[in-house]
Amino acid sequence: MSVLIELLKEKQNRLCSVFFSAGFPQRDDTVKIIKDLDANGVDFIEVGLPYSDPLADGTTIQYSSSVALQNGINLDVIFEQLEAVKDQVSTPLVLMGYLNQVLKYGEQKFCQRCKECGIETVILPDLPMIEYENHYRALFASYGISNVFLITPQTSDKRIRKIDALSDAFIYVVASSSITGAKGEISEEQINYFKRIKAMELSSPLIVGFGISNQSTFDTACSYMNGAIIGSAFINFLDKNGTHSIDAFTKNILGE
């Protein structure tokens, strides 16, 4: 059983994950950011794989990906960074990227490098469910990798239940039908969506992402779901402060 799956079984509320783009703001900041997040109360860390055509990413994460690519980041460099830090942190790491990156890099090579770096969970928003069932499920399982599916307010109950049956880590609950990015407070419409998903009594943990930007939105999301992911707000913090005072950012989110 992966470290993340064990965590999800042991801690079932107020799970906090932080997303950042590897190689941002500087190419070699990845290790320091992971170590600082690990030391400051984050439950799992989502490492973004910068990509030139990110279909689910808003302006902020597109910007950080663009800067990272200009910095010379690529999958080989990212895997080297992850391998360098894997024995220095205990917080589970999750990779979030796009299927084309895996295909271009080589499916077997990608999975092997994940295994060597201690990566046991990936999020590929554009991976079709049928492709997962027919091919990637067995491939990922052979390397001890779990896949995370996303759901949105438009996802049918039938598809949600199928995703629940296919999931062995968590379900990524997209807070709104939009791209990533901080959007202020959570709306009544979103709360009704969270209530609908919660009422389905799914077996998988539910982690909210897209639009979680401060303590208030984190607390609201966690009152309905098992936890939340903060992305664009942290990218903005890094853009302004570099890798300084990451502890202040996490304390602000967690209210400590």
Query: Active site includes 201?
Result: no
pLDDT in tens, 34-79: 999 999 999 999 999 999 876 666 788 999 999 999 999 999 999 9
Q: Which of 29, 36, 38, 57 is catalytic?
A: 57
- Section 153-159 average pLDDT: 96
pLDDT in tens, 197-248: 999 999 999 999 988 999 999 999 999 999 999 999 999 999 999 999 999 9
Cα–Cα distance for residue pair 178/60, rounded to 1 Å: 14
Q: 14 exposed, middle or buried (CB, 10 Å; 0-12, 13-18, 19+)? A: middle
Domain ranges of the chain: 3-254
Residues 6+ apart with CB under 8 A from 248: none
DSSP classification of residue 168: S
Q: Pick from 50, 98, 46: which is nearest to 70 by CA? A: 50
Computed over every residue of the chain, the mean pLDDT equals 94
Q: Which of 29, 36, 46, 120 is catalytic?
A: 46
Cα–Cα distance for residue pair 102/69, rounded to 1 Å: 16
CATH superfamily membership of 3-254: Aldolase class I (3.20.20.70)
Cα–Cα distance for residue pair 60/64, rounded to 1 Å: 6
Q: Pick from 226, 195, 193, 191: which is nearest to 208 by CA? A: 226
- Section 88-92 average pLDDT: 97
Query: Active site includes 46?
Result: yes
pTM listed for this prediction: 0.94
